[in-house]
Every structure is written in C-alpha cells, then in structure tokens.
Amino acid sequence: MRARRILQISLWVAALVWLATFGVLQFGLLPKPQQSSPLAITTGMAQIGGPFRLESHKGEVVTDQTLKGRPSAVFFGFTHCPEVCPTTLFDLTGLLQELGPDADKITPVLITVDPERDTKSVLAEYMQSFDPRILALTGSPADVDAAAKAFKVFYRKVPADNGSYTMDHSAVIYLMDREGRFAGSLDKHEPKEAQLRKLKALIENSSPT
C-alpha cells in the first residue's frame, strides 16, 4: 500500500518535471508562426542551436560554425523510421524543388538520433532517395547527443520485445538564420504554401546586406 503510494507520488513528480521541461520548451519555443518574418520571433527564446560537431553522409565535417553564413533547416530523425522521417524528407525535397535556385541558399540538415544504426554509409544510401542538397549527419552517440541538446531536441531509445528498438524523437524542422540563431520552425501540418513562405522569408532575411 505504502509502496504504491510512493510510486504514485513519484510518477506524478516525474510527470510534472517532464511537463515543466518539455512542455515549456515545446510550447514556449513554438509560438504561432508569424506571417511576415520568421526572424521576428528570435527574441526571448531559450537558445536553440549551439555547438555540435558531426559528419555528413558525404564525408564532410559539419558543425554549427560551418553552417553559419547561410540559413539552415535542421531536423532530427532516423532511417528505421517507417513513416514520419521519410515523409518529412519527401516533403522537404518537394519544397526545395519549388524554391528552385533559391534552395541553394539554404542548408537542409537531417541529424540522426540513431547513430548506432545510421552510419555514414547507411545514410548515404538512404539519402539517394531525396534532394541531394539535404545533408544527413551522424557521429558518435555522444556527438549526436550534444547536437540534440544544442537544439533542445528530445529523443529516446525504446526497446522492442525482439531485441530491436525504435526511437521517440522530436519531429520539428527548426529554421536557423545565417548566424545560427533560431528563426522559427516548419509545421508539417500547415499547408505547403505556408511552409514555402517561411523558407523564402528565411532566405530573404538571411541574405547579406
């Protein structure tokens, strides 16, 4: 009886802590997109973005510093993901195509949350199915963890009964400006036109003055 009570209380505490961290993070950081300029919502945000060092499927070292100079669109995923990740990559491929030449002014980045299985060569094969401008990054589990922390991204390994596992992960696409500052996010539920507008605004607001 007592043990159960303690369990109950600790569950509540855990839930509250979870809510306090992720709830505040997610709600606080994802205000309703502003139509005019995604850069307008950078102030007052906990810093999304920060130091990381990973390697792309093309073999180049990519860090928060190498991304600077151009805006980027950063999201997290993994190749064993059956639906969300391929769909995000597929949609992003479509958006980049619609942007046309402007798409060269932005760096789209997928960071794996499953570095154990998503090696460089696995990512290289996987990315052949999508826009060649999208960089897929991997590294040691510690390096990936650092990147996830930099972007305040949640991910977790979930074991399955057969020894396999899947990953829970944040599915947001973060828009970062050319200085590496958070500049908004893409919501997969909003219409393609709205997402295109955000990307165009990001590129425009990020072009050198």
Interface with other proteins by CB under 8 A: which residues? 22-23, 26-27, 30, 79-84, 86-87, 89-91, 93-94, 97, 122, 125-132, 154, 158, 160-162, 164, 166, 168-172
CB 159 within 8 A of CB 60: no
Which residue's CB is nearer to other proteins, number 1 or number 158?
158
Q: Which amino acid is at 25?
A: L
Nearest distance in Å: CB 199, other proteins: 18
Which partner, Cu ion, other proteins, none, binds residue 170 by CB below 5 to 8 Å per kind?
Answer: other proteins
Q: Does 160 participate in binding Cu ion (rule CB under 5 A)?
A: no
Which residue's CB is nearer to other proteins, number 23 or number 50?
23
Which partner, other proteins, Cu ion, none, binds residue 130 by CB below 5 to 8 Å per kind?
Answer: other proteins
- Dihedral Cα 84, 190, 24, 4, nearest 10 deg: -50
Q: Residue 153 to residues 37, 122, 140, 165, 193: CA-CA distances in angstroms?
A: 23, 23, 17, 19, 26
Nearest distance in Å: CB 35, other proteins: 21
Which partner, other proteins, Cu ion, none, binds residue 122 by CB below 5 to 8 Å per kind?
Answer: other proteins
Nearest distance in Å: CB 207, other proteins: 27
CB 76 within 8 A of CB 146: no
CB 106 within 8 A of CB 116: no
Query: Cα 47–96–193 angle (5° rounding)?
Result: 80
Pairing of strands 135-138, 53-56: antiparallel
CB 117 within 8 A of CB 141: no
Residues 73-102 that bind Cu ion (CB under 5 A): 82
Can you read off the two tokens belonging to residue 114? 């499953």
Which residue's CB is nearer to Cu ion, number 85 or number 202?
85
Nearest distance in Å: CB 91, other proteins: 7
